[in-house]
Structure 1
Amino acid sequence: MITHRLLHPELLAGLAAAGHGSRILVADALYPHSTGAPATAARVHLNLRPGLVAARDVLEVVADTVHIEAAVYMADANGDESEPVREYRAMLGPHRHSGGREVAWAGLERTEFYTACRSPDVCVLVATGETRPYANLLLTIGVP
């Protein structure tokens, strides 16, 4: 019996197949899930209804499962961090999620973010029910 907090079979398989430098996309409900990542990326649909499952809940469990080296967010229309991104940054502070190191953060405007998410190193797209705007986050797996 699995005793870890992450129980979702497809997400476990996707994270287990990923390695250092692989990228995980936590996508909000408005993201183009079918075309916004390479065809080879596993798609994990957790978008049951608007607001369920929230992106922050996915981030919490993913961060408890793998070390996160870097995070890239979709900047809002003004080029700033959205409320969800500020929340994510607080969640991924310099502690165990990054092996005790600071997570490197970067923001990209919308079309640049889409391009980054279509790169071949994106191995998992997690579709959430997150409805807050600009709540997408592209994570790079690091090493302990």
Structure 2
Amino acid sequence: MLKHTLVHPQINEVLGRAGHHSKILIADGNYPAYNTLGPNAELVCLNLTPGIVSCTDVLKVLLTAVPIEAANTMGIPDDDPYALEGDPPIWNEYRSILSDADCDVELEPIQKWDFYDAVASRDHVLTIQTADQALWANLLLTMGVRKPGEL
């Protein structure tokens, strides 16, 4: 019986095979998830209807299952038609969730095209496609290590 809150069998399988530096993309409902998979990545679609399941739901559950050493958002080009003034509201939600989970990582944007390259890398093991409608909600997590004595 699993002790963490992640019960999705395919996601657990991929995470169980992954290791340090593996990358997990939590994709919003607008992200082209299928055609941006890395060569070693699997796609799990949790997009039931607009807004369900959200990126924040997925992040909360993943934080119970794996250590995270980096969290990257997709940087917003100044000339992008969907650019916002300041950080998108969801980024503050991510910061709060990471803090509440005692995950001591800073949210770091990666420029949009570099973000796509990071997702296309061989370290990318999993994309979880959500139905989140928030703009700029894509979040690329890098798995950390389990420290000696941690359960």
Q: Same fold by TM (over 0.5)?
A: yes
Report how far residue 17 of structure 1 moved.
1.0
Within 5 Å, which residues of 2 pair with 1:9-88? Answer: 9-76=9-76, 77=83, 80-88=86-94
Deviation per CA, 1:63-82: give whole Å up to 9, x if none.
11111111010123258431
Using a 3 Å threshold, how does the CA distance of structure 1 residues 59 and 108 change in structure 2: closer, same or farther?
same
Query: Which residue identity does 1:128 align to in structure 2?
Result: T
**1:24, 1:140 within 8 Å by CA — same for their partners in 2?**
yes
Higher CA-based Rg: 2
**2:63, 2:101 within 8 Å by CA — same for their partners in 1?**
no
Give me the whole-angstrom Cα distance separating, in 1, the residues matched to 2:100 and 2:54.
Answer: 23
**1:75, 1:82 within 8 Å by CA — same for their partners in 2?**
no
1:109 aligns to what?
A: 111
Report how far residue 120 of structure 1 moved.
0.9
Using the aligned pairs only, state the percent identity. 39
Is the aligned partner of 1:90 residue 2:96? Answer: yes
Could you say what the CA RMSD is over the residues aligned between the two structures, in angstroms?
Answer: 1.8
Secondary structure at the counterpart of residue 99 of structure 2:
coil
Report how far residue 109 of structure 1 moved.
2.5
Query: Which residue identity does 1:89 align to in structure 2?
Result: R
Deviation per CA, 1:20-59: give whole Å up to 9, x if none.
1111000001001111221320111101111010110000
Pick the aligned partner of 1:135 from 106, 118, 137.
137
**2:52, 2:132 within 8 Å by CA — same for their partners in 1?**
yes
Q: Greater CA deviation, 77-86 or 115-124?
A: 77-86
**1:72, 1:105 within 8 Å by CA — same for their partners in 2?**
yes
Alignment length, in residue pairs? 140
1:6 aligns to what?
A: 6
Q: Greater CA deviation, 122-131 or 31-40?
A: 31-40
